[in-house]
Every structure is written in C-alpha cells, then in structure tokens.
Amino acid sequence: MSPKVQPSKILVYIASMFAITLWGMSYIWTDQLIALNIPIFYFVFVRILLAGIILFLFNTAYARIKRIQRQDLGKFLLLALFEPFIYFICETYGLKLTGSPTLSAMVIATIPIFSIGAGIIFFKEKVNFINIIGILFTLVGIVMVAMAKGELGENFIWGVALLLIAVVSEVGHASITKSLSGNYSSQIIVMYQFLIGSVYLLPLFIWKGVEGFSIETHFSPEVWYPIICLAVLCSSLAFSLWVSTIKNLGVAKSSIFSALIPVAAAIIAWILGHELLNSRQWIGIAVSSLGVILSQYTIKKAD
C-alpha cells in the first residue's frame, strides 16, 4: 500500500484561517440575535441541530456515513459534552457576567497554554523554544487588540471561572478530536458532535429557549438569516475545517489559531464599520501574526 499523502501545510493554514475568520464573523451574527432579544438557548440549540442535520444530509448524499464504533462511543459523548454543550454555555454566560470584552478575550486567549500541555502529555507532540516564543508573542498581540474600555460586571469572578471552564473544555474537545481523527473524517466527527450536542441542549431549549416564543418573531427572516449563517458557515463548515487542522497540526499548534478569534472579530468589525481600530491594536495584530508564524516553525534535524 502506498503511504497516505499529507495535505499541503499551506492548505491547512488557509483552512485554519478561514475557519477563524468565520468564527470571528459569528460574533456579529450572534450580536444581531441578542439585540433582537432572542433567548440564547433558542438560537444555540437551533444552530447546533441545523448544523448536524446539514452534515448528515451531506454525508448521506456522498455515501460517507460511518457508524460510531462501540469503543469510540464514550469519546463522542464526551466530545459533544465539551463542545458545543459546555463551551458554548460557559463562554456565553462568562462574557455576560464579566461585563468586560477585554478580560474575556484575555482568558479565552490562554487556550494555547493549556493545549501545549495536553499535546505534550497525551500525544507526545514536539514543541520547540521558537514555538513557545511565538505563542507568547501571539498572546501579547491578542491582549493589545482586545484592550478596550469597559466596566467589570458585579459577578465578574464567576464570569472568569466560567470562561476558564470554557478554555479547559476546548482543550478537551481538541484532544478527543485528535484521537478520533485517525478513524473518522472531519465531517463525520462534527456531524455526530452536533447531533449529540443538540440532545444535550434540548432540555435547556425547552426550559429557557422558548420563553416568550412568537412565530412572527422567532421565524422571521431577521432571526433566521443569522441562525442559518451560524449553522452553515460557523458550525458545519468551520468546525469541519477545524477538525482537519487539529488532525494535521496537532493539539498544541492548532490551538494558537483559535486564540486569534478576537483578532479576527476586531478586523471584521473594522471592515464592516462596526468598530475603529487604534494604532495599538494594529501593532497588536502585527505582533500576533508574527507570533503565529513563529509558533508553527519546525526545526529541521541535521542529516
């Protein structure tokens, strides 16, 4: 048998940045839904369920459906528990309780630090000194971009705790994804992740998601346009690309891209005219970009 051809690293990086860009745009669509007073558990549940159904139809159409092997069932259940269930809930309410986009972005940006440990301990991934320097550069750049005026909420300590739980759940999600990626395609992993995750979210949807339900409001184009964008682009497509990233780059190196989501969100908001970026933030973008390049550097062994 001929060895498997590894996808070009350049294509992997392009896919990674595309996924991060889509997640950066998700903040805009999510803000639109929150501004319309749509309950969080309504649009999160619908988004996740719709994404799972879309991927099921896609995999069925291309005859790619693969059943979960018995030994992997526990991993898939844990994968969906980490994300979307724990991560989405803790991130959303963590942002709300801290009342500070700056603090929240700084906490979420610690994902690479935890991921390095997971990658080294569980998957024996190699991280060199230059990679560490790159990660530190990226974190500094993210802080510079995320710095903004804002007051801390009364329950910001609880908010920080929830955000840290979200960070740990993302590391757990990436680690389990890495362990499953050898036996399942990206689309299959994400499909099961979202279908199982929608089951976890169903009780919360029934309990809180349908409060004040109105057909005219909840099924209006203003509500469903951002939900469809979130489901198709930010869930089905972005997560499939992200699984491929984790598979090819590993837990530690892929995590540095996820930490760039606040940067992507800031740039997109600037392009759309939602936010102005000052000189400090542009310098932060340059520093974080340099950090990403260094974090992916591989030292070649001498022959």
The residues spanned by each domain of the chain are 9-295
- Choose from 49-53, 213-217, 258-262, 287-291 the range with maximum mean pLDDT: 49-53
Section 186-194 average pLDDT: 95
pTM: predicted TM-score of the whole model, two decimal places: 0.79
Query: What pLDDT was estimated at residue 294?
Result: 77
> What does the pLDDT look like over 64-108, one tens digit per residue?
999 999 999 999 999 999 999 998 888 777 777 766 555 566 667
Judge contact between 261 and 121, C-beta under 8 A.
no
Tokens encoding 136: 């530190």
| Low-confidence winner among 13-22, 55-64, 109-118, 282-291 (lowest mean pLDDT) | 109-118
Q: Going by C-beta distance under 8 Å and a sequence separation of 6 or more, which residues neighbour residue 112?
A: 135, 138, 139, 252, 255, 256, 258, 259, 295
Per the CB < 8 A criterion, the answer to whether 135 and 75 are in contact is: no
Rounded CA-CA distance 73/71 in Å is 6
Long-range contacts of 146-152 (CB under 8 A, 24+ apart): 146/101, 146/102, 146/105, 146/106, 146/109, 146/262, 146/266, 147/102, 147/280, 147/281, 147/284, 148/101, 148/102, 150/99, 150/100, 150/101, 150/102, 151/99, 151/100, 152/98, 152/99, 152/100, 152/103
Q: Look at residue 254 in the predicted model and tell me its pLDDT.
A: 83
CA angle 262, 268, 286 (to 5 degrees): 60
Indicate the burial class of 58 (C-beta count within 10 angstroms; 0-12, 13-18, 19 or more): middle
Predicted confidence band of residue 3 (pLDDT cuts 50, 70, 90) = very low
- Least Cα distance to 263 among 118, 101, 93 occurs for 101
Predicted confidence at residue 2, as pLDDT, reads 41
- Assess contact for 163 and 107: CB atoms under 8 A: yes
Lowest-confidence range among 33-37, 113-117, 136-140, 184-188?
Answer: 113-117
